[in-house]
Chain A
Amino acid sequence: MLAYLMHRSLQMVATVFIISVIAFLVIQLPPGDFVNSYLATLSGGDQITQDAVEALRAQFGLDDNLLVQYWRWISNLLMGNFGISFQYQRTVLDLLEERLPLTLAITIPTALFVYALAVPIGIYSAVRQYSVLDYTFTFVGFIGLAIPNFLMAILLIYVNSTYFGGNVAGLFSPEYELAPWSVGRVLDMLSNLSLAILIIGLGGTAATMRVMRGMLLDELSQAYVETARAKGLPEWKLILKYPVRVAISPVLSTIGFTLPHLVSGTEITATVLNLPTTGPLLLNAVRSQDMFLAASIIFILSVLTVIGTFLSDLLLVWADPRIRL
């Protein structure tokens, strides 16, 4: 086990290094650089001299060759210095500190919500296949899968503002937007957050529910379930102990992708809902070639992916002894 952990850790370091190179290169791929896109956004009329452009480039260090730029970025990164965002003119760390807590406040409950809801529903749907409730869950599930989250967000904003007169977009309702912290403001934030969690979690719940149902249906007809039944175990107890334990493996393996999803992955919905999370931040950074910001976020995401995969591998080994280390 220890050897396995060491082996996997080395692998993870190598993977992260390769990803960092690729992340850096991909950001550089589009023609031009931040200065070009920065100039493009400036209103015409102003004549910007070639000298000024050169000065900007030199200031941001964009003239050096790629290797030097990469080294500067990665060595600073390892010391906790993520560089600065050209666009926001602030350090990347500063931006992340501002946005990450809120992001996690939305995404962690979302992930818990998804699993807490999807796994029991999936189990129920499989055990009571073709029952009224199974059909209901299937119907709702397909709707959840088919409608993109952001569309659902727009619908909800519309319904809410038309029929309830409320505003669900943003973190706070208008009356609390600039108000100082109070119980009312916290409650308002929580109600807006829970809507966001519901919307963002819907697609994931539908998908996980279907996976759980399908896998469990396969397992329920297995011979070992009949053996357990012949032993005299109560039905629900044996279902939870035997087929569910086997069927949950693919759900466990999705936890690996959940971790990066916590930080990003809700860009469009968060944009629609006007939530200041890291998702829209990454989207903007990529669009404006805000090099260090984009590369840093991508780097964090990839580290989380690697860690998440590692965790889900460990969970899988725990759940299914046939998976050899």
Chain B
Amino acid sequence: MIADKGPILEVEDLRTQFSLPQGTVRSVDGASLSVAQGETVGIVGESGCGKSVLLRSILRIVPRPGKVVDGAIRWRRKDDTVVDLATLPGDGREIRMIRGGEIAMIFQEPMSSLSPVHTIGDQIVEAIMLRGNTTPEQAWVRAVETLARVAMPRPEMIARQYPHELSGGMRQRAMIAMALSCDPRLLMADEPTTALDVTTQAQILALMRRLQREAGMAILFVTHDLGVVAQMTERVVVMYLGKVVEAGPVGDIFAAPLHPYTHALLHSIPRFGLRQKGERLAAIPGSIPDPYSVPRGCAFHARCRFDDKRRCRSEVPALREIAPGRMVRCHRAEELGLSGMSMPEPSPALAHP
């Protein structure tokens, strides 16, 4: 991979807030991450940790009344100029050309993420016609080609069909084809396989890996499934309540987590042989705090086994780099010595795509 050119995307201290009558929800509260060219980065966390809002903030499509209020989203364009997406007008021409054209996104629900009243081909053609001066006929040919690229069976026919006539896996393929139709350099995937059954999930993941190799694009992969993270990504960013709590290479994170939250997440993955060894699945105690009243100090302290009842409750920990490439947001990261977990085996579908 061409990682030496530096990151193509750099998010720094991003804050996205929803001002509601009940109060302000800080969905993304000072998140930072970077993605190098051709790299796959995973973002993990429970529902409500702000990972989906983070992706939408990057594309500037946060639904109202959400707003990017602070921070920078530095995006390196093809000509190596860097543009701060956070400061562009949300419906302006420049951000719209980057959306879909340079950064594409695929969504969780392939059922509802495609328009029910337009054909698959029509929806892909639209994306192609939006940039590039092609005739509708050329765009149609390219749409069918793109469908073939995602291993869609009978692409000419599928292009003329409506989403409700396809299966869930085929819809997600169509969705990916739509995202790929403009050769983006970054593909953001918001839990793209959560709504699919396990075998379809493996196929879609294998497809994404293959396409990434072919096109050399970077992937920012949001999921709550650590098994998927282990199979798909090179680096992991763990989020909790809008903040990045840990980041590092995927192998290191699994072998030696630094943050108690990451540790708890790892040990809540169901594994074979757990019962024979007399172990129990470790659920994370408590639930995500009310977004209107985030705890003082470390946001995780109420659910943390290592709460020191003093500093953890009074002082918000900073995100520190404690080893090369290893970032963590915990006062006690060095002293805890948390146990790791073997990486889940890749599924056969991924081993032989």
Contact = CB atoms under 8 A, between A and B. Distances in A.
Contacts of B130: 231-233
Interface stretch (A38-46, A105-113, A151-159, A218-226): A218-226
A322 B162 contact: yes
Contacts of A322: 116-117, 162, 164
Interface string A291-325: 00000000000000000000000000001111000
A174 B86 CA distance: 67
Contact of A231 (B91, B100, B118): B100
Contacts of A230: 59, 61, 99-100, 104-105, 107
A223 B163 CA distance: 13
B127 A231 contact: yes
Nearest to B55: A230
B126 interface: yes
B112 A224 contact: yes
A222 B99 contact: no
A229 B112 CA distance: 14
A224 B113 contact: yes
Contacts of B115: 224, 227-228, 242, 245-246
A242 B178 CA distance: 16
Interface string B111-130: 01111111000000011001
Main secondary structure of the interface of B (DSSP, over half): loop
For chain B, the bracket of interface size reads 20 to 34
Contacts of A228: 115
A234 B91 contact: yes
Interface string B90-102: 0100001111110
Contact of B61 (A221, A229, A245, A321): A229
A98 to B, nearest CB: 45
Given A230-B61, A231-B126, A222 B162 contact: no
The interface centre, meaning the residue of A223, A224, A228, A242 with most chain B CB atoms within 10 A of its CB, is A224
Contacts of B126: 231, 233
Contacts of B63: 221, 226
Contact of B100 (A232, A235, A246): A232
B46 interface: no
A228 B123 CA distance: 9
B77 to A, nearest CB: 14
B99 A231 contact: yes
B109 interface: yes
Contacts of B109: 223
B112 A223 contact: yes
A118 B112 CA distance: 28
A232 B99 contact: yes
A242 B118 CA distance: 8
Nearest to B64: A129
Contact of B117 (A229, A231, A246): A246
A226 B91 CA distance: 13
A226 B61 contact: yes
Given A231-B99, A231-B100, A246 B113 contact: no
Contact of B178 (A222, A223, A231): A231
Nearest to A235: B91
B116 A233 contact: no
Given A227-B115, A245-B118, A321-B164, 12 more contacts: A224-B112, A226-B61, A226-B113, A227-B178, A231-B99, A231-B126, A231-B178, A232-B96, A233-B96, A322-B116, A322-B162, A322-B164
Interface of B: 56, 59, 61, 63, 91, 96-101, 104-105, 107-109, 112-118, 126-127, 130-131, 162, 164, 175, 178
24 contacts: A221-B63, A223-B112, A224-B113, A224-B116, A227-B107, A227-B114, A227-B175, A229-B99, A230-B104, A230-B107, A231-B127, A232-B100, A232-B130, A232-B131, A233-B96, A234-B91, A234-B96, A242-B117, A242-B118, A245-B118, A246-B115, A246-B117, A322-B116, A322-B162
